[in-house]
Homo-oligomer: A and B are copies of this chain.
Amino acid sequence: MTADIFPHLKAACADDWNAYVHHRFVRELAAGTLPEDAFRWYLAQDYLFLVHFSRAWALAAVKADRLDEMRHAVATVNALINHEMSLHVEYSAGWGLTEEAMAALPEAPANIAYTRYVLDRGHSGDLLDLLVALAPCVIGYAEIGAWMDEGRASGLATWDGNPYRAWMEMYAGAEYQEVAADVRGLITRVAERRIGQDPMASGRWGSLRDGFAAATRLEVGFWEMALAPQPLPRAGA
């Protein structure tokens, strides 16, 4: 028996979770109908998001008390800053937005709210509090990638000619799906060690559930922010 905490966490905020992984932003992205300025704004903000999300994973390495878990956390930072962010840089370069210009943009408040909330869960709590706050992003994007992959048949996702196909391929792809599964395994092991086999029986359940739900709602807020795009600087401008 393993104590996978996710079914419980998701069930406890089912409406929020559904609003997040099936948000209009991702549905339109999958359909290829998302306005390009929304996608650009999202991608630029997500670049800034990943900077601070990487800092949160570095904090996980600070807080890890097993060497293999420290290695896992550091490998994740590496994957984020050397791999996942390069997707953003390539897309943006195609629009004449350099990495330097993107890095200099102000973070939107919805963006600040999410990353700093996660970091604070880490500073105020332990490794489990931190990982549970990180989870909606890592696990949720894998779910989104998975339904986009399955949506080929049902028509929910249009892959041919979709301008956002590279994004879809990244999150639906085997590599990202494996990253997310590994993170899920890590959280399960840390949860077993720190709250035991029955998460909902733990005195920490209420706090973990609320932390996960809050982070999930902040993901919804991120999509909302992306649907109200701000102008971006252009090369030469």
Residues of B within 8 A of A123 (CB): 62-63, 119, 123
A218 in the interface, Cβ–Cβ < 8 Å?
Answer: yes
Number of interface residues of A (CB under 8 A): 48
Question: Could you say which residues of chain B place their CB within 8 Å of the CB of A65?
Answer: 124, 207
Which of A152-160, A173-181, A190-198 touches B?
A190-198
Given contacts A77-B61, A126-B129, contact A70 B55 (CB under 8 A): yes
Q: How far in angstroms is the closest Cβ of chain B from A225?
A: 10
Copies in the complex: 4
Residues of the B chain whose Cβ atoms lie less than 8 Å from the Cβ of A113: 109-110, 112-113, 116
Q: Is A67 an interface residue (CB 8 A)?
A: yes
CB distance from A218 to the nearest CB of B (A): 6
A35 proximal to B (CB < 8 A) = no
Alpha-carbon separation in the docked complex, A203 to B192 (Å)? 7
- CB pair A109–B106 under 8 Å, yes or no, is no
